[in-house]
Amino acid sequence: MLHKSLIASLLGLALVGCGQQDQTAKVTGALTDGVLLPAYTSWQEADRQLAERAAAFCAGSADLPAARQAFLGAMSAWSALQPLMLGPLAEGNRAWQVQFWPDKKNLVQRQVEALLKSRPQLTQADLASASVVVQGLTASEYVLFDADIDLTQEEQKARYCPLLQAIGQHQQALAADIVAQWQADKSGMAAQLKQFPNERYADSREAVAELLRVQVSGIDGLKKKLGAPLGRQTKGIAQPYQAESWRSSASLANLGSALASAERLWHGNNKDGLQSLLGSDQAELVQRIDAAYLDTRQRLAAFDLPLTELLASEDGRKQLNELYDSLNRLHRLQESDLAKALGVQIGFNAHDGD
């Protein structure tokens, strides 16, 4: 009898384990189709428009506001990927090719000017062999928005247009390559998040663990992007030029795009995100995380001035610090409480020690 009861118990545990894995596989599959792939394909489309508008502007068939709007769209789509940074884009130094930040020594301006001085007739090959500092959106922003560059003057337009077009083409090609790696049959990132085991994940629980880790790391990165200009590590002395996208005044919009993406990973497209892995006994934790997202989102939506202008007033800095504290609560809830509930070890991330 003991032998039979032991076998029954083991079978029961195995069935529970299978059930849990089926549920986690269902979640990773739903997030892949409902959140991850749409975000990556939106980024690809935004980069296609960036390249198209840059070419049109330089050919004289689109105006400067249209080129700037395409940049803002590409930057927003890129920001939305921050909490979803797993797989091919997180490998091989590719993210640096999209955005160089923080730029503590104004390397973007210095290297762009040096490159154009040495390569006045810049080609795509020249850009491909150049530093990542000049290959990405941060360099595009410098050309399109810097106060010392007037692209309405033909001479300046002729100087900077080869770089503007080359960056657009570089970003379009990079995004197309990444999306192709996501969509490849069997070996693609999307397939690896749906069928287990595979070369990347032994089982679906490993995939869920990585999804949570990149989400937590992404939210921690938002704290850094807010904390650096706030001077949280410089004794409270504001550092406006350390803000992401300060030239285009898109810092807070970028935060909003990334926050929305992190929340989609939590909720899923149809209540099938990470939240759905928590049982009824974790209802209170779900409510706390929902409330934390709502609080951060509402604080962000309340701002009606750019980050750099808010930094210039005591009241603005107070509101920004309150937003930072709200982000910190959201980050800690997911890094600690949610990770514990899901049995995930977060460990170190790219922002630790910053």
Q: What percent of the chain has pLDDT over 90?
A: 89
In this prediction, residue 269 has a pLDDT band, given cuts at 50, 70 and 90, of: very high
The model's pLDDT over 286-312, given as tens digits with 9 standing for 90+, comes to 999 999 999 999 999 999 999 999 999
pLDDT of 350 strictly over 80: no
* 22: confidence class by pLDDT, cuts 50, 70, 90: confident
* Domain locations along the chain: 20-342
Give yes or no for residue 191 having a pLDDT over 60: yes
Kindly indicate the confidence band of residue 10, based on its pLDDT and cuts at 50, 70 and 90.
Answer: very low
SS (H, E, C) the chain: CHHHHHHHHHHHHHHHHHHHHHHHHHHHHHHHHHHHHHHHHHHHHHHHHHHHHHHHHHHCCCCHHHHHHHHHHHHHHHHHCHHHCCHHHHCCCHHHHHCCCCCCCCHHHHHHHHHHHHCCCCCHHHHHCCCHHHCCHHHHHHHHHCCCCCCCCHHHHHHHHHHHHHHHHHHHHHHHHHHHHHHCCCCCHHHHCCCCCCCCCCCHHHHHHHHHHHHHHHHHHHHHHHHHHHCCCCCCCCCHHHCCCCCCCCHHHHHHHHHHHHHHHHHCCCCCCHHHHCCHHHHHHHHHHHHHHHHHHHHHHCCCCCHHHHCCCHHHHHHHHHHHHHHHHHHHHHHHHHHHHHCCCCCCCCCCCC
- Model pLDDT for residues 216-263, shown as the tens digit of each residue: 999 999 999 999 999 998 888 999 999 999 999 999 999 999 999 999
Q: What is the mean pLDDT of residues 145-174?
A: 98
Q: What per-residue confidence (pLDDT) applies to 258?
A: 98
pLDDT tier for residue 21 given thresholds of 50, 70 and 90: low
Confidence of residue 6 (pLDDT cuts 50, 70, 90): very low
| Whether residue 1 has pLDDT greater than 60 | no
The domain 20-342 is classified under which CATH number: 3.20.20.70, 1.20.1420.20, 2.40.30.10, 3.40.50.970? 1.20.1420.20
